[in-house]
C-alpha cells in the first residue's frame, strides 16, 4: 500500500465512531507524583478526560511514565479528547494529593 492510499475503508472509519457502551467515572490520585491508571481495562474508541473543577493545581495526562515534566497539563475544568482502544492506557499524575479527573469512554 502506497503512502497516498487509505488504510481504512469508509465503513471501517464509520464503525469506529460508535461503541456498545459508555463508561464514566472519577479518578483521584492519592499521592502527588505517582502516576495512576485512569481506570481498569475498558475497551473503547475515544475518551474525554476533564480535570475536576475543584482542583487547585494542574493534573497531567499521559502514559505510565507521566509526571509534571512530561504530561499534558489540564487546569480545573479543562478537558482533552483521546482516541485510544483501552482507557487503562491513560495515566494521571497530580501535584496536589487527592486531585483528579472525570472521564467518559465510548
Q: Where are the domains of the chain?
A: 16-105
Q: Is the pTM of this model over 0.85?
A: no
- Could you report the per-residue pLDDT of 76-104, keeping only the tens digit for each? 999 999 999 999 999 999 999 999 999 99
pLDDT for 13 equals 57
- Domain at 16-105, CATH from 2.60.120.10, 2.60.40.790, 3.30.9.10, 1.10.357.10: 2.60.120.10
pLDDT for 1 equals 43
Q: Regarding beta strands 23-28 and 79-83, do their DSSP bridges make them parallel or antiparallel, or are they unpaired?
A: unpaired
- Could you report the per-residue pLDDT of 23-42, keeping only the tens digit for each? 999 999 999 999 999 999 99
Percent of the chain with pLDDT over 90: 75
Determine contact, residues 61/92, Cβ cutoff 8 Å: yes
Residue 51 makes CB contacts below 8 A (sequence gap 6+) with 58, 59, 74, 75, 76, 77, 78, 79, 99, 100, 101
Amino acid at each position: 500500500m502506497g503512502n497516498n492510499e487509505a488504510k481504512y475503508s469508509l465503513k471501517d472509519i464509520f464503525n469506529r465512531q460508535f461503541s456498545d457502551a459508555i463508561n464514566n467515572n472519577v479518578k483521584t490520585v492519592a499521592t502527588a507524583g505517582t502516576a495512576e491508571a485512569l481506570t481498569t481495562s475498558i475497551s473503547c474508541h475515544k475518551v474525554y478526560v476533564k480535570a475536576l473543577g475543584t482542583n487547585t493545581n494542574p493534573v497531567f495526562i499521559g502514559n505510565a511514565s507521566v509526571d509534571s515534566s512530561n504530561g499534558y497539563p489540564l487546569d480545573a475544568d479543562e478537558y482533552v479528547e483521546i482516541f485510544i482502544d483501552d482507557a487503562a492506557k491513560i495515566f494521571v499524575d497530580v501535584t496536589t494529593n487527592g486531585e483528579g479527573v472525570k472521564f467518559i469512554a465510548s
